[in-house]
Chain A
Amino acid sequence: MPDATGLELIAQELRDRDAGTVVNTTYFREKAALEVAPAAINDVLEHLKGKGFSFLASVHGLDYYPEEPRLGVHYELLDMREVDRITVKLRVATDAPNVPSVTPAWPTANHQEREIYDMFGVVFDGHPDLRRILMPEDYEGFPQRRDFPIGGEPVLFTHNEPHMPGWWEQDDIEPR
């Protein structure tokens, strides 16, 4: 793992390239994390790839409700040679949840960005096929957000199928 000093060195390198890139650095439980501006995410990941972090292990979505900006995306990078990990974080607000997609450079992010769009409503600009992945495609709302209620959703059975909005009614079949 890059230690606290190593993290600051990486942050300084990124700041030298563009002063506004790094928002914050945290070192928690022996794990280094960089918080960066959303627009700079591709540059930051590219820079870290040059330093050996060439494997994108995971992308997580989070909701920091009630803190603002609410939505967060975490990129877990892995250096397979040095066995090093670093987290790159970014935060966006719910009214403008746009983040540049990293899928063109990191194909593994394809499913994971779709999942975060599906669950949190983060829009990844430049994603080749940004659509819902786990929830039904005509689903409304982003269920993993912290203010999304649990329960209260009617279950689709054959007997109530014609009365379910968004599913049956748009087609030519008349509700019975």
Chain B
Amino acid sequence: MTRELTYREIEASHTLAEIQDPEREELLTLNLGPHHPATHGVLRLITTLEGEVIRDVKPMIGYLHTGIEKTAEDKSYWKVIPVIERMDYLSYYFNAVAFCGSVETLLELEVPPRAQYLRVIHLELNRIASHMLWLATGALDLGAISVFWYGWRDRDSVLDLFEMSSGQRMHTRYIQVGGVAEDIPKGFERKCREFTAGFRERLDQYSTLIDQNQIVLQRLRGVAPLDEQTLLALGVTGPLLRATGNPWDLRKAHPYSSYDHFDFKIPVGTVGDNYDRYRVRMAELRESCNIIDQALDGLPEGPYITPNRKYALPPRHELATSMEALIHHFKLVTEGFRPPPGEAYYPIESPRGELGCFVRSDGSAKPARVHMRDPSFVNLQAFAPMVQDLYIADLIATLAMLDPILGGIDR
């Protein structure tokens, strides 16, 4: 339908805000991004300004579109995991759990308790890493360079833990269909406990550094509030929704991967402004530490991946002695498994909201459709109503508190 238009005409065809009184008002269209350090990736914002006040914002996305969903249709199920981890590049464990959960639903495959606990430990560590990057870059947008360094420091100690358990710092491929790739090594538990104990102190330090900081309060408090009903209509989930006081969290509401075994709270805000968004995320970090400690305490014994050889690779030592193991290994590596035809949608609570993976199987060894309901993609729709009639400086702060990840938006 846009074939007849030239590129320039397409650019000009976007409807922007209209002025009421042309005698007195004048609108300025300002293009922000896609290459701009404060857009946290390659997000392009066409802003319409009246003086310094924003009258309209149009987010333009797709600059990071890499066709991961199309690529996934060309790979066998277990080879999809590495590409799907690269969608939302800050919450790779979440992407993998959503996809594997969806495939496990199709296969009706039981995940052993130890694997579920190991998943929870890594998911919560990943939530800490993701939130620390949000804090670091978000504070940088407000001009706090020291918080930027502190945030990266703490994120790095989480990545050290990932490196210990899987060999990789990012995109670890640790989550497998039916469980996890490897048991945690000796010393991981001690390191992990050291981390959570130290991180709680760090959280206190952040609290004294930021919570009552006059600049932070002036820049965030009362800025860009959006009420619960509008957010629900726009499909917004995660910390943004919880900041308005709605305690919707899939970990509590619809527990998956043994989240119902742990005792934790859901932090909520009151008015849903930027300061509430900040405080909700900071409080979530403390709850994540509690979940990790409880999961380490109660870590059950047993296999870390399903013993069903049709779906999980046999252990290395069996290959030397068992013909059957060799056949299973060969079948899995060359062809993969074939889930029965059907469709499954598996939602989990990612650091940014409901992350759901939809998988359709047509009975072959490759998925017929993989679609990620990415929270950043949906949450971005709330950005324009949030920043309307604010100053342009608040746009940057609000975008930081929205925490969109462009890898997840564009996929």
Q: Which A residues contact B (CB, under 8 angstroms)?
A: 28-29, 31, 33, 54-58, 60-63, 74, 76, 80, 83, 85, 87, 106-112, 115, 119, 123, 129-138, 140, 143-144, 146, 148, 150, 166-167, 170-171
Contacts and interface: CB of A to CB of B under 8 A. Distances in A.
B118 to A, nearest CB: 24
B108 interface: yes
Contact of A28 (B1, B70, B342): B342
Nearest to A1: B254
A144 B69 contact: yes
Contacts, number: 116
Contacts of B360: 62
B62 A136 contact: yes
A29 B368 CA distance: 18
Contact of B8 (A83, A146, A171): A171
Contacts of B62: 132-136
A29 B5 CA distance: 47
A171 B6 contact: yes
A62 B345 CA distance: 13
Interface of B: 1-3, 5-8, 10, 15, 61-62, 65, 67, 69-71, 73-74, 105-106, 108, 232-236, 248, 253-254, 342-345, 347, 354, 356, 358, 360, 368-369, 371, 373, 377-378, 380-381, 410-411
Contacts of B2: 131-132, 137-138
B332 to A, nearest CB: 23
A133 B371 CA distance: 16
Contact of B381 (A28, A60, A110, A136): A110
Which 6 A/B pairs are nearest by Cβ-Cβ distance?
Answer: A108-B235, A58-B373, A170-B6, A134-B62, A134-B65, A60-B371
A55 B70 contact: no
A140 B15 CA distance: 23
Contact of B344 (A31, A111, A144): A31
27 contacts: A28-B344, A29-B108, A33-B343, A54-B232, A56-B235, A60-B345, A60-B373, A62-B368, A63-B369, A106-B233, A107-B233, A108-B235, A108-B378, A109-B235, A111-B378, A112-B377, A112-B378, A123-B1, A129-B15, A134-B62, A134-B411, A137-B2, A138-B7, A143-B70, A150-B74, A170-B8, A171-B7
